Amino acid sequence: MKMFIGGRWTDKASTTEVVNPYDGSVVDTTPRADLKDVDTALATAVRGAKAMAKTTAYDRYLMLRKAADIIAGRAEEFARVITLEEGKVIAESRAEAQRAVQTMTLSAEEAKRIHGETVPLDAAPGPGRQLGFTLRTPVGVVAAISPFNFPLNLVCHKVGPALAAGNAVIIKPATDTPLSALKLTEALLEAGVPPEGVQCVTGSGGEIGDALVRDPRVRKITFTGSRDVGEGIVKAAGLKKVTMELGSNSPLIIMPDADMDRVADATVSSGLSNAGQVCISTQRVLADGRIYGDFLDALKPKMEAVTTGDPLRDAVRMGPMVRESDAERVSLWIREAVEQGARLVTGGDRDGAMHAPTVVAEARPEMRVSRDELFGPAVAVTAFNSIDEAIALANDSRYGLSAGIFTQNVDWAMRFALEVESGNLMINSSPQWRADLMPYGGLKDSGMGKEGPRYAVEEMTELKMVVFHLE
């Protein structure tokens, strides 16, 4: 596919192959943008921001609603592209396409709800009479940099609110998975978004990212991706608004009153969906010592029953990882944990990019499988003796994106909610749960700022204070 910059679909002599992670076949190629292309996109976006700022809230509502309808009409096509470029099983890709419809619909609705408020300035002592109110105005140009793992819906989470707020947006999708973002750009243009209001630049983040994020024409960066890349962007961005949706090693706490069957099912689905490549995948399972053995007994056969293979086949429950090098990393960390005293309950092996569903027990917090972001189809299980220890273990992480607890005890659930350092707290669910309308974002090294259209619109607008000084 071509990229869309400067108001037209553009090709380049230099291209990058988009490879199917399952069989290594080339799905398509995309242009490899250079610094000149970034400059073109930025100059165009400045004009686009002016055009978008002139649209009414209702215009933007209509554009985004129509985009949602177009995605809905092509949901199967989008799902196939997601699976082909990313490797997730087709059922999960279909779910992602449906979520994208929702994200765009919610964004359309938010376009109609952007408003300020009156401020009671006479509530403070002072001379004179003033009447004050706030206004929300677009920031101008938004740079939206997205990761490989949800190549459609996470792009919608950036583009939908950016356009709803009346901004121009430049999308920089992940090099591994640019096709869904390009097809989304097609849908947005068809829906009536001005050609200068949305652009999609394909190319290596390492080569063109810095020029995009440093440029003063960009007023807002919304980034989803890894911690280290995010930190580099924050440093390079200078005085701009930034939203950082970064990584995690999410904990799931199992208290002794939990239903083992239900918890084991939740661990399988939240540990293995998208081959464990979800920012809120369950990675660290913390199980009360009294039910630790029962939990592993319930988990092992369920993990072993998961069918792996071609993600386009409906019967397959887990596909490959996005790259072979990622599967290699997961294997290495598991081997390392076992050498350091952990026990391999099941899995551990891999074939190319396909990594087997894996459980490592007796994991300790200092092991990489627990300490860092594994981002693969494996869970590391650790025993605890009290709720205090469970909370301390959950918080023993640089990350804080999502956490889950299974218990029927209200006091334990409340302590978990109050004391676990995490942006999202799930009671009687795994950490891997998100509704697209909720405020979503991490604490600590998991980032800053919130997504969810209503909250993202706030971050993509400026709040101005207007004061009338009355006679």
Catalytic, 156? Answer no
Yes or no: say if 330 and 380 are a contact pair by the CB < 8 Å rule: no
Q: Does 347 bind ligand NAP (CB under 6 A)?
A: no
**Closest approach of Cβ 107 to ligand NAP, in Å?**
16
**Closest approach of Cβ 176 to ligand NAP, in Å?**
6
- Which residue among 245, 362, 436, 459 contacts ligand NAP (CB under 6 A)? 245
Please work out the total of residues on this chain that contact ligand NAP, with binding judged by CB under 6 A: 33
Q: Does 31 bind ligand NAP (CB under 6 A)?
A: no
Strands (E), 52-151: 118-119, 129-138, 141-145
d(CA 342, CA 380): 9
Chain mean position to CA 195: 26
Which is nearest to 88 in space by CA: 335, 315, 318? 318
CB closer to ligand NAP, 159 vs 258: 159
Q: Residue 345 belongs to what H/E stretch?
A: strand 343-346
Q: Does 175 bind ligand NAP (CB under 6 A)?
A: yes
d(CA 195, CA 167): 13
- For residue 433, the SS3 value is coil
What part of residues 378-407 is at the interface with ligand NAP (CB under 6 A)? 401
**Token pair recorded at residue 188:** 């947005």
CB closer to ligand NAP, 83 vs 224: 224
Catalytic, 324? Answer no
Yes or no: say if 360 and 344 are a contact pair by the CB < 8 Å rule: yes
- Which residue among 7, 195, 232, 256 contacts ligand NAP (CB under 6 A)? 232
Q: Catalytic residue among 86, 92, 96, 245, which? A: 245
Yes or no: say if 306 and 275 are a contact pair by the CB < 8 Å rule: no
What part of residues 146-165 is at the interface with ligand NAP (CB under 6 A)? 146-149, 154
d(CA 425, CA 358): 25
User: How far, in Å, are 168, 249, 401 from residue 278 at the CA level?
Assistant: 28, 10, 11
- Which residue among 247, 348, 357, 431 contacts ligand NAP (CB under 6 A)? 247
Q: Does 100 bind ligand NAP (CB under 6 A)?
A: no
- For residue 321, the SS3 value is coil
What x/- string results for residues 406 through 445 when contact with ligand NAP is judged by CB under 6 A?
------------------------------------x---
Q: Binding residues for ligand NAP, per CB under 6 A?
A: 145-149, 154, 172-176, 204-206, 209-210, 213, 224-226, 229, 232-233, 245-248, 279, 373, 375, 401, 442, 447
Q: Which residues are catalytic?
A: 245, 279
